[in-house]
Amino acid sequence: MSTLATRPLTHSLHYSQEVLNRVSFLRKDPQFLEDALAHNETQFVPFDNYLPYVNERTGFILKLKKAEVANLTSQGSISSNLVFLGLLLSQKSDFVYKSKYRGTPTFAIDVSIQRLSDSSLLDSSKPYKKVESFRDLNKLTVEDSSIVSQARMYLQWLDTHKFCSLCGSKTKPVYAGTQLKCDNDDCKSNKSVSNSCFPRTDAVVISAITNKDYSKILLCRSGMPRNKERKLYSCVSGFVEPSETLEVAVAREIWEETGLDTQEVEIIASQPWPFPNNLMIGCVAIADDTQTPDLTHDCELDEVRWVPCSALERILKLEDSESGFIQDESTGLNLPNDRSIAHMLMGFVVKKSAELRKGP
């Protein structure tokens, strides 16, 4: 069995940084929200169809001031297209609440209905363009990608939960867009402890499969239609099911997809994945490499291949290509880029393999 080890609080993956103090307890405080909305430093990050804009000159996500969003929201109050994200930690700010909560108040604003291009208030000195693709998201800084991830998850959830699942009445956002409440006072949901609908986060386990001496990794090529062309080799992943431990979920997914029995599982790190609302829980699983893979259970994979860590080490260091992932022509192995947890997990195994080869 692996020994328990502590893990660092943060890592360098996209979508994963703590750049805002969420002050979640202040979302219910009307005075705080009023002060935050009224402050002249407060910033609003616009989203259209859950995607941000970037300033073409700087590459940073577009952030607007109060005057610039005045005709996109009901000024001075929380409206249905606003979500409070938190207090930005990195900037010096004059905003202080109750003399101890500091930082620039930051909101996400959904401008899908009234697009920025329709707003006459935008200063033409700000050349901006909408982020259109996954590749564009990859170019964001880690800090910006983390703000985008949090905002996307809330905005998509608000947009897809407009009706109460119990009585079918409309729901309304409360606590600055971070919870939903049924609009029907007689609804059972308003009379019990479950009187609100909370945003959902779906747990997904993703696992690099290695052998007992960490000399190889089993790379897996998905048979999903969108992967047919790009031929990406990666880790095994899947949703955690109700009442399942993470370790059991890893072993189940590995057996269902590859037919291999898992001997040990170690949880390494996690990464929010806002497509649409997942938390990727990265693991390393050890499996006996003398077993014969069987891809015929759920038929999700087209191919699996044991690759020596010594060969993978070189490929993981390559820059990603225009396609947004690593392409190694000499081996035909295309791998996820270094913003993904799959890449981090493979790197973790490769590093451990090198240490073991070197010896004590």
Q: CB-based contacts of 95: which residues, under 8 Å, 6+ apart?
A: 35, 36, 39, 41, 42, 87, 102, 103, 104, 105
Taking the least distance from each CB to Zn ion, the nearer of 183 and 302 is 183
In whole angstroms, give the CA distance from residue 133 to residue 144. Answer: 15
Smallest gap from residue 81 Cβ to Zn ion (A): 22
Q: Which is nearer to Zn ion, 88 or 164 (CB)?
A: 164
36, containing H or E segment: helix 30-38
261-289 core/surface letters (b: 16 or more CB in 10 A; e: else): ebeebbbbbbbbbbeebbebbbbbbbbeb
Per-residue binding letters, 146-165, with Zn ion (x by CB under 5 A): ------------------x-
The answer to whether 132 and 53 are in contact (CB under 8 A) is no
Q: CB under 5 A: which stretch of 18-26, 174-182, 254-262, 313-321 binds Zn ion?
A: 174-182
Q: Are 106 and 118 in contact (CB under 8 A)?
A: no
Q: Give the nearest distance from C-beta 163 to Zn ion in angstroms.
A: 8
Vertex 280: Cα angle to 91 and 150 (nearest 5): 30
Nearest residue (CB) to Zn ion, 166 versus 279: 166
Peptide bond into 242 cis (omega under 30): no
C-alpha span between 161 and 197 (Å, rounded): 9
- Choice between 167 and 246, CB closer to Zn ion: 167
Segment contacting Zn ion (CB under 5 A): 26-34, 56-64, 168-176, 323-331? 168-176
Which residue stretch of 106-114, 128-136, 166-174, 335-343 sits at the interface with Zn ion (rule: CB under 5 A)?
166-174
In the complex, least distance from residue 170 CB atom to Zn ion, rounded to whole angstroms: 9
Q: How far apart are CA 312 and CA 217, in angstroms?
A: 8
Integer CA distances (angstroms), 232 to 78, 102, 205, 236, 326, in order: 43, 44, 18, 12, 9
Q: Is 166 in the site for Zn ion (CB under 5 A)?
A: yes
Q: Please, what is the minimum distance in Å from the beta carbon of residue 290 to Zn ion? A: 56
Please give the size of the binding site for Zn ion, defined by CB under 5 A.
8
CA distance 251 to 283: 11
Alpha helices, H only, 73-180: 134-138, 142-160
| Minimal distance, residue 171 CB to Zn ion, in Å | 8
Name which position in 137, 158, 187, 209 contacts Zn ion (CB under 5 A): 187
Q: From start to end of 211-300, where are the E strands? A: 216-222, 233-234, 236-239, 262-273, 278-287
User: Whole-number minimum distance, CB 188 to Zn ion, in Å?
Assistant: 7
Candidate segments 15-23, 53-61, 116-124, 177-185, binder of Zn ion by CB under 5 A: 177-185
Is 182 an interacting residue with respect to Zn ion (CB under 5 A)? yes
Closest to Zn ion by CB, 90 or 194:
194
Closest to 107 measured CA to CA, from 49, 43, 162: 43
Piece of the chain touching Zn ion by CB under 5 A; list 175-183, 269-277, 282-290, 346-354: 175-183
Stretch that binds Zn ion, among 40-48, 74-82, 119-127, 187-195 (CB under 5 A): 187-195
Q: Which is nearer to Zn ion, 81 or 171 (CB)?
A: 171
Nearer Cβ to Zn ion, position 80 or 169? 169
What's the DSSP call for residue 261? P
Nearer to Zn ion, 138 or 184 (CB): 184
What residues make contact with Zn ion under the rule CB under 5 A? Answer: 164, 166-167, 169, 182, 184, 187, 189
